[in-house]
Structure 1
Amino acid sequence: MTHEPQDADPDAVTVTETGVGRFQVEVLSAGASFLADEPAELGGLGSGPNPYDLLAAALGACTTMTVRLYAERKGWPLSRATVRVLHSRPSPQGRDRFAREVTLEGPLDDGQRARLLEIAGKCPVHRTLEAGADMVTVLAQPRGLEAPHGGGGGHLRDMEAACRD
């Protein structure tokens, strides 16, 4: 991929255009990297999941992990959990809808299956999506353009002064 390890911020997900294709981006998260993109029929290269696929993946991953954790804590015989997530929105102004199909494999009884399905509805990403979230966006300076420490930076300082209202 395109970034050096020192660019990785362990507390953030960083997404940067790759310069390949119209929409392809590189996602850096927790020491891993992958591509996201739009399908070819929408002008992308189809080289990775689109942003809504990533959101659905977050919901599916969190649901699966939460169900696994609960089953382990209870000592229940869950051999595998699979979550299939579908996303739809009736119109640009409509409310998004996520539908989950939870498959629980293993010799679980009906009560255990019902409880694990209930726990699926309590996963943190489910709760975040259900409650909504506050969004904060700020404009940051490109990393290569900060004024150097200890003097210098005159041209950048002059440009900033020229742009003041």
Structure 2
Amino acid sequence: MAAKTSSKVTLTNRNYLAEAKMRNHFAVIDEPLDKGGDDNGPTPVEYLLTAIGSCVSITLRMYAQRKKWDVGEIVVNVTQKEELTKEGIKKSLVEEISFEKEITEEQRVKLLEIAGKCPVAKMVKGETPIATKIIS
């Protein structure tokens, strides 16, 4: 059985500066100056948007390769949108996908469907429960 996918995040004593370790990789997380951080790295939301965009692009590339479709470079721009409603601020995400090479309408329809099958996006959509506990 494969090792569990995980990320260990340690919030340092420097405002909101956090350090994350994933396998043999490290990342820095922080908040911008206007939010009380020191702007030493992307915010958690920016990492989430990056995770979704990278997962969607990888999922699309894997599918296109299986179909032997040469779509060229794939760009996924993920943006957080905020809308003021009667209930307060409602947040949503917008994905804009583009391909370097021309694609047919049939490919466009299928690739749009496949983009929705990205495992990270599925987690965000609420298909993965999160069990939270405090350990000593």
- TM bucket (normalised to shorter chain) is 0.7 to 0.9
Residue 38 of structure 2 corresponds to residue 13 of structure 1: no
Task: Tell me the percent identity.
Answer: 30
What is the correspondence of 1:33-44 to structure 2 with a 5 Å cutoff?
Answer: 33-44=26-37
Please give the residue correspondences for 1:4-153 in structure 2 after superposition, counting only pairs within 5 Å.
Answer: 11-19=5-13, 21-90=14-83, 94-141=89-136
TM-score when normalising by structure 1: 0.71
How far has the Cα of 1:13 moved from its partner?
0.4
What's the CA shift for 1:93?
6.2
Over 3 Å counting, the alpha-carbon distance change for 1:57 and 1:135 in structure 2 is same
Task: Give the C-alpha shift of residue 86 in structure 1.
Answer: 0.6
Q: Are the aligned partners of 2:17 and 2:40 in contact in 1 as well (CA < 8 Å)?
A: yes
Change (3 A) 1:30 1:120: same
Structure 1 unmatched ranges of 5 or more: 1-8, 142-165
Aligned length: 132
Q: Higher strand share goes to which structure?
A: 2
Question: Within 2, Cα distance between the matches of 1:77 and 1:115?
Answer: 14
Secondary structure of the residue that 2:28 maps to in structure 1?
Answer: strand
Mapped to 1, the partners of 2:127 and 2:88 lie a distance apart of 15
- Higher RCO (CA 8 Å, separation ≥ 6 residues): 2
Change (3 A) 1:33 1:10: farther
Task: Please give the secondary structure, in 2, of the residue aligned with 1:87.
Answer: strand
In 1, the alpha carbon distance for the partners of 2:91 and 2:128 equals 14
